[in-house]
Structure 1
Amino acid sequence: MVAKRRNFPDEFKRDAVDLVRFSKDRPLTDIARGLGVHLETLRKWVREDAARRAHASADEADADMTSSEQEELRRLRRENARLKEDNEILRKAAAYFARETTR
C-alpha cells in the first residue's frame, strides 16, 4: 500500500526544522512522531535547511570580496568544474581499458 502524499505549509516545515535545531536533547524520531511527520521527511527538511544555510553563508562571504576577487573565484570555480569533468572522463576510460585487458 502506498502512503498518501501530504503537503505541509512552508511555515510548518520551518518550525519543525527549528524545533530539531534547538532541541538537541530530543531524538529526531520523537520530534517526528510528535509532529505527525514521517522521520525521513523531517530528515529531508533538516538537510535542505542545512544546505540553504550553507549556501546563504557562502553568498555572504562572496559579497565581502572585491570585484577582482569575485572574478578570480568564478574563474577558479569554472576551472575546478572542468578538471572534475576531465577526471571523470579519465576514470571511465581507465575502467574501460581495464575491462578490455582482462578479456
Structure 2
Amino acid sequence: MSERRTFTEEFKTMITELVASGQSVKEVAREYSLSETSIRNWVKKKAPIKTEEGTINLEEINRIKKENARLKEENEILKKAMAIFAKK
C-alpha cells in the first residue's frame, strides 16, 4: 500500500499557476507525478470568484466560514456569561 503524500500550499499554488499559464492538467500531472483529480481540485479551490468587493477563492471562503463559526460560538458563550452575571 502506498503512503499518502502531502503537499505544501506553495507547491499547490505553483501547480495551479502552471495550469493557469496554459499547460494542460494532463501535462502537469505527468511532469510532477500527480493525479489529474488532485490538480483539478487545487485549481478549483484557488480559482478566483468575482464579488462586488473584488475577487476571492474557495479556500478563503472556507477560512472565513470557519472563523465565522468560531466567532458565533464565542458570542454565544459571552451571552450566557452575561445572563449569569446579570442574575447576581
TM-score tier, shorter chain, comes to 0.5 to 0.7
Choose between structure 1 and 2: higher strand proportion.
2
Which residue is equivalent to 2:81? none
Q: Does the C-alpha gap of structure 1 residues 59 and 4 become closer, same or farther in structure 2, counting only changes over 3 Å?
A: farther
How many residues align structurally? Answer: 54
Percent identity, aligned pairs only? 30
Which residue is equivalent to 1:85? none
Which residues of structure 1 form unaligned runs of 5+? 62-103
Choose between structure 1 and 2: higher helix proportion.
1
Cα-Cα RMSD: 1.7
Q: Given the two structures, how large is their TM-score scaled by the length of structure 1?
A: 0.46
| Residue 44 of structure 2 corresponds to residue 47 of structure 1 | yes
Q: Which runs of 4+ in 1 moved over 3 A?
A: none
Give the whole-Å Cα distance in 2 for the aligned partners of 1:5 and 1:38: 12
Larger-gyration structure (1/2): 1
Which residue is equivalent to 2:15? 16
Q: Choose which of 29, 33, 38 in structure 2 pairs with 1:36.
A: 33
Which residues of structure 2 form unaligned runs of 5+? 55-88
Aligned partner letter, 1:20: V
Deviation at 1:59, TM superposition (A): 5.6
Which residue is equivalent to 1:7? 6
Give the whole-Å Cα distance in 1 for the aligned partners of 2:10 and 2:30: 18
